[in-house]
């Protein structure tokens, strides 16, 4: 489990084709490689991935993850290349502060940035989502975009908006995103379960 509070901004340093529809992705970060265990979970731009290797190369700490066919198909991971910036969050530990909302790292779909408006060092982002996911998004509700916990402002049909404060623009990948960019979307778990419950009620 995660909270959607980004702890590090990583960079893809290697993408290797390990087998058919399996890629090993190396990501540089600032953490001590001795502080992470093989098999640990890290949210990489919102995708929960398992650490399969860690160490230091060219004076940079790194860890590697394997992305299989479904992850490459259903998320933005299939488009990651050397130099791609990645939002990182280590898995939640008992006693950690819950600063965002409960995030599983299981991406529901990919949203597209339709428009971006800048004002007072902040930014308003308008995003379009797959129609099947739009019903899970509500004003003042929570979403995770590329692993970042955000509060929804307005919702219209299959679009919604979020306001990004200066700190978030500075420490995540949202600072450089432009219209047309794709982001991993995870809807609020409570919304998903509530919708499922309503589907099963007798009519």
Closest CA relative to residue 148, chosen from 112, 183, 121, 122: 183
- Catalytic-residue membership of 48: yes
Q: Which listed residue (35, 50, 56, 195) is catalytic?
A: 50
Residue with tokens 């995540």: 172
d(CA 84, CA 61): 16
- Catalytic-residue membership of 41: yes
Q: Which listed residue (30, 79, 106, 115) is catalytic?
A: 106
3-state secondary structure at position 24:
strand
- Catalytic-residue membership of 50: yes
Closest CA relative to residue 64, chosen from 34, 90, 91, 42: 42
Q: Which listed residue (30, 35, 56, 151) is catalytic?
A: 151
Asked if 89 and 184 count as a contact pair (C-beta separation under 8 A), the reply is no
d(CA 57, CA 36): 16
d(CA 40, CA 25): 15
Q: Which listed residue (31, 40, 68, 191) is catalytic?
A: 68
- Catalytic-residue membership of 151: yes
Q: Which listed residue (48, 77, 123, 144) is catalytic?
A: 48
Cα–Cα distance list, 180 to 2, 111, 112 (Å): 27, 10, 6
Q: Cβ of 109: how many Cβ atoms within 10 Å? A: 17
Q: Which listed residue (7, 31, 40, 41) is catalytic?
A: 41
The residues that are catalytic are: 2, 41, 48, 50, 68, 106, 151
């Amino acid at each position: 489990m995660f909270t959607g509070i980004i702890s590090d901004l990583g960079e893809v340093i290697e993408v290797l084709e390990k087998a058919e529809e399996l890629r090993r992705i190396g990501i540089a970060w600032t953490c001590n490689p001795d502080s992470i265990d093989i098999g640990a979970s890290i949210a990489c731009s919102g995708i929960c991935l398992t650490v399969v290797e860690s160490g230091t190369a060219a004076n940079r700490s790194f860890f590697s993850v394997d992305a299989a066919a479904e992850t490459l198909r259903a998320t933005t991971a299939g488009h990651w290349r050397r130099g791609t910036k990645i939002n990182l969050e280590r898995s939640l530990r008992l006693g950690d502060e819950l600063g965002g909302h409960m995030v599983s790292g299981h991406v529901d779909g990919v949203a597209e940035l339709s428009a971006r408006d800048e004002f007072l060092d902040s930014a308003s982002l308008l995003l379009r989502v797959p129609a099947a996911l739009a019903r899970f998004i509500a004003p003042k509700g929570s979403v995770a975009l590329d692993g970042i916990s955000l509060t929804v402002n307005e919702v219209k049909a299959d679009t919604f908006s979020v306001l990004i404060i200066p700190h978030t623009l500075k420490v995540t990948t949202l600072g450089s995103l432009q219209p047309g960019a794709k982001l991993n979307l995870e809807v609020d778990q409570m919304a998903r379960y509530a919708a499922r419950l309503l589907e099963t009620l007798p009519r």
